[in-house]
Amino acid sequence: MYENIKYEVKEDIGYITINRPQAMNALNMDVLNELTEALAEIEADDKVKVVIVTGEGKAFVAGADIAQMSKLNAIEGRAMMAAGHKVMNTIDQMEKPFIAAVNGFALGGGCELSMACDIRIASEKAKFGQPEVGLGIIPGFGGTQRLARFVGKGMAKYLIYTAEMIKADEAYRIGLVEKVVAPEELMAEAEKVAKTIASKAPIAIATAKVAINNGFDMDLKSASRLEVEATTSCFASEDKNEGMGAFLEKRTPEWKNK
């Protein structure tokens, strides 16, 4: 079904692998379109509770496809940026959580793809950067906006203006990734985190993601009101009764709202 990505489901975890190793998994329009299709498939599949995104070979995603972009005029470039934003925003806004398992280069669109995910786990060999200004453009898949929210305005400007590529330990230090592990442990760690999340109440995970995302740019008073309403919706769910009942009865919960 897909030519540029791999998508499979194992138990309750979905796996998306960018599969253009000959091009360092660079994002072109075909990849973006296939990602859009896969995301729609994930959204419709109630069995999938968590998604892991990674890259085939030595790269996570080494950027957008420069060979393709070099031929685009302004109108065509705008269309490609819109397609990239559609993918990143869908991942960001979907209620299901996404984990980026960053196995290698996460540059340009790759760094932006990792930032669209909820959690980033990086191999010690991973490298991050936004090199676009060296190509005469700027990050166009959300990088100018998400990077500043992750690492602060000053650090985002530094990384974007200089196009500096940083290693995984530095990405961890500045808050761009949540965990750094040995290369051979990357997928096992991503799966461990995914299984932990999948074992929790699906409606609670979804509600928490919505509350965090929507409240992030609000003032604290408004965000607190949002949290009260979000928590109230959980109290109306079967999973609240099941989770608390299982805790009191010292048993494993069987979630209803799947």
Residue that is written with structure tokens 């070979």 in the block: 57
- Give mean pLDDT in consecutive 10-residue pieces for the chain, a chain of 258 residues: 95 97 96 98 96 97 92 96 98 97 98 98 98 97 97 98 98 98 98 97 96 95 96 94 95 83
pLDDT recorded at residue 257 = 61
Q: How are beta strands 127-129 and 166-167 bridged, if at all?
A: antiparallel
91: left (phi over 0), alpha (psi -120 to 50) or beta: alpha
**3-state helix, strand and coil shares in percent for the chain, rounded to the nearest 5:** 55, 15, 30
- For residue 14, the cross-strand partners are 9, 51
Which homologous superfamily is 5-198 in? 2-enoyl-CoA Hydratase; Chain A, domain 1 (3.90.226.10)
Which residue type does 28 have?
N
Active-site positions read 112, 132
pLDDT recorded at residue 256 = 83
54: left (phi over 0), alpha (psi -120 to 50) or beta: beta
Fold of 202-249: Lyase 2-enoyl-coa Hydratase; Chain  A, domain 2 (1.10.12)
Strand order in the sheet with 50-55: 5-10, 13-18, 50-55, 98-102, 119-123, 179-181
pLDDT recorded at residue 126 = 98
pLDDT recorded at residue 1 = 82
Nearest 5°: the CA angle 239, 40, 123 is 80
Record the pTM. 0.95
Alpha carbon distance, N-terminus to C-terminus of the chain: 27
pLDDT recorded at residue 120 = 98
The residue extents of the domains of the chain are: 5-198, 202-249
